[in-house]
């Protein structure tokens, strides 16, 4: 079995289109769909600055396929949970397209800066080119991010690690990757936050914020793995 990650620019779908205007937020589905055939409801998680979250929700609620938006948590916290009700007849669902193609995929796709990130699990009978062409015929853009063979021994660890990486925003991945490349985590630190900020092209305080959030997400996942294995 192969693990394939695709970035999909889902044109015409409100979460994708509107989030392109709010690149500081990340959206993730945290529940399955419930409800009737016409009205479907699910819970999404939004992380990012308060002003960006509020702006996104205002525009999202006004989108035609969206019937209701109900914040389940205050908007002034880093992790906001929102119940969203949609008209499924007007909603072009990537998950439904993948299901129709008979493709196994990971639930909880993330969306950042207009791009949805989907992880698929393909066996020998699945044709990746056919899957991509089907998505693009519907007017979407696709980028291949990852295509690896899953080993039987390390499969679960690969799945968990790839999940936490995918939960980072694009900027968080960029800042963390730059920090690693520049030697920020080596025993004798070879770079500073200012160096990282200059390389990425952002303010040093902004670089520090992105790096701190990325480190927290990664270390929380590492902690779960270490504790579960009794190390």
What are the average pLDDT values for consecutive 10-residue runs of the chain, which has 231 residues?
89 91 88 76 88 94 93 85 90 87 85 90 91 93 86 51 70 87 78 88 88 82 56 39
Confidence (pLDDT) at 229? 46
Confidence (pLDDT) at 108? 74
pTM here? 0.65
Confidence (pLDDT) at 231? 39
Distance in angstroms (rounded) separating the CA atoms of residues 122 and 175: 31
Structure tokens at 164: 């936490």
């Amino acid at each position: 079995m192969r693990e394939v990650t695709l970035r999909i620019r889902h044109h015409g779908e409100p979460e994708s289109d509107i989030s392109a205007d709010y690149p500081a937020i990340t959206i993730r589905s945290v529940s399955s769909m419930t409800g009737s055939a016409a009205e479907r409801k699910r819970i999404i998680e939004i992380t990012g600055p308060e002003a960006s979250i509020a702006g996104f929700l205002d525009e999202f609620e006004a989108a035609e396929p969206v019937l209701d938006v109900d914040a389940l948590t205050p908007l002034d916290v880093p992790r906001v949970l929102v119940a969203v009700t949609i008209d499924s007849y007007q909603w072009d669902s990537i998950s439904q397209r993948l299901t129709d193609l008979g493709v196994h995929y990971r639930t909880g796709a993330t969306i950042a800066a207009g791009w949805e990130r989907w992880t698929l699990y393909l066996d020998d009978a699945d044709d990746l080119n056919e899957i991509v062409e089907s998505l693009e015929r519907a007017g979407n853009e696709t980028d291949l991010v990852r295509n690896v063979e899953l080993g039987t021994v390390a499969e679960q660890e690969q799945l968990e690690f790839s999940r936490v990486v995918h939960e980072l925003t694009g900027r968080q991945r960029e800042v963390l990757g730059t920090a690693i490349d520049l030697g920020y985590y080596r025993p004798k630190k070879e770079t500073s936050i200012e160096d990282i900020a200059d390389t990425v092209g952002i303010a040093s305080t902004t670089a520090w914020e992105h790096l701190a959030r990325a480190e927290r997400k990664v270390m929380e996942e590492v902690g779960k793995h270490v504790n579960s294995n009794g190390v």
